[in-house]
Amino acid sequence: QNTDDGNSMQHEYQDILVSEVADGVVTITLNRPEAYNALRTQLLSELADVLQQCSDDDSVRAVVVTGNEKVFAAGADIKEMAALDAVGVLNDPRVMHWRRIAQFPKPLVAAVNGFALGGGCELVMHADIVIAGDNAQFGQPEINLGIIPGAGGTQRLIRTVGKSMAMQLVLSGEFISAAQARDFGLVSEVTIPERSLERALELARKIATKPPIAVRQAKEVLLKAYETTLDSGLSLERKAFTLLAATEDRNEGIAAFMEKRKPNFTGK
């Protein structure tokens, strides 16, 4: 329902479902079951728009993204992709949507059941924490279509799972199980499928109670580890650590510990 009472998240979307903010958490459900949640432009653009709104809304402290019980997302929409020539691919607005998703500054937790393939696996790698149902399957099958991953599936994957497994996935197109994905660091926990979303929400709600400036700094500094030297990463960490000493929430956190009470963080 379209409401204009300030809760701008509650638009009508075609390809996703967006929950109200509950305990600081918004849940986004990919919702094109008939196409195995293929990530057509419309879907990616709606996802990027909602994340932008979540970014702007102080009441949102974390976001959970999920699919359905059979599929997280089966990749780029192959039917849509088929219509693009090289210039079409060059000017594809999806590149911009992916960038907007990557720049989301708050914690993004994915709950993955079933297939997470191609762009679906790449979307998983845009999440900060990934909980997988034990029926999840991860893969980069683009090679079967004569292409390669195009939304970070070479670069983020190799940084996440290491060279041999990244090569195996991208060159052979084979899928790996949730347990293998956990062994290789692509996901942090495996649950029964019925529990993956609840566990993701549990983590997101917990993060939502933490001091938001520190959470944001932590995400930024952790992600920098992918692309910087140890020395400059440590320097950035020290700067963020110093910056946090100027926040009220840091004083509150320390005072609450000393006074043996729960902290009341205000985001200042």
Residues 189, 131: Cα–Cα separation, whole Å: 5
- 69 in catalytic set: no
Of 67, 107, 119, 133, which lies in the binding site for ligand HXC, with binding defined by CB under 6 A? 119
Nearer to ligand HXC, 67 or 107 (CB): 67
Q: What is the distance in angstroms between the CA of the first residue and the CA of the last residue of the chain?
A: 33
Nearer to ligand HXC, 99 or 239 (CB): 99
Q: At what angle do helices 212-224 and 248-258 cross, to 10 degrees?
A: 110
- 76 in catalytic set: yes
Q: E strands of the chain, at which residues?
A: 16-18, 25-30, 62-66, 71-73, 108-112, 115-117, 129-133, 137-139, 176-177, 189-191
Token pair for residue 51? 């994340």
Token pair for residue 250? 């840091």
Nearer to ligand HXC, 43 or 129 (CB): 43
- 220 in catalytic set: no
- 142 in catalytic set: yes
Token pair for residue 58? 């102080």
Nearest to 219 by CA among 91, 63, 76, 86: 63
Beta strand pairing call for 115-117 and 176-177: unpaired
Of 21, 43, 151, 197, which lies in the binding site for ligand HXC, with binding defined by CB under 6 A? 151
DSSP-assigned beta bridge partners for residue 28: 18, 65
Of 10, 35, 69, 233, which lies in the binding site for ligand HXC, with binding defined by CB under 6 A? 35
| Total of chain residues touching ligand HXC, rule CB under 6 A | 20
Segment lying near ligand HXC (by CB under 6 A), choices 54-62, 137-145, 155-163, 211-219: 137-145
DSSP letter (8 states) at residue 194: G
Nearer to ligand HXC, 38 or 207 (CB): 38
Site for ligand HXC in 45-64 (CB under 6 A): none
Segment lying near ligand HXC (by CB under 6 A), choices 15-23, 146-154, 163-171, 194-202: 146-154
238 binds ligand HXC (CB under 6 A): no
Nearer to ligand HXC, 181 or 201 (CB): 181
User: 31: exposed, middle or buried (C-beta count within 10 Å: 0-12, 13-18, 19+)?
Assistant: middle
Segment lying near ligand HXC (by CB under 6 A), choices 14-22, 145-153, 219-227, 247-255: 145-153
Nearer to ligand HXC, 88 or 266 (CB): 88
Q: By the 8 A CB rule, do 53 and 23 touch?
A: no
74 binds ligand HXC (CB under 6 A): yes
Segment lying near ligand HXC (by CB under 6 A), choices 57-65, 101-109, 114-122, 211-219: 114-122
DSSP letter (8 states) at residue 75: -
Burial pattern 194-225, b for ≥16 Cβ within 10 A else e, equals ebbbebbbebbbebbebbbbbbbbbbebeeee
75 binds ligand HXC (CB under 6 A): yes
Site for ligand HXC in 89-108 (CB under 6 A): 94
Q: Which residues form the interface with ligand HXC (CB under 6 A)?
A: 35-36, 38, 74-79, 94, 115, 117-119, 141-142, 145, 149-151
Q: Which residues are catalytic?
A: 76, 119, 122, 142
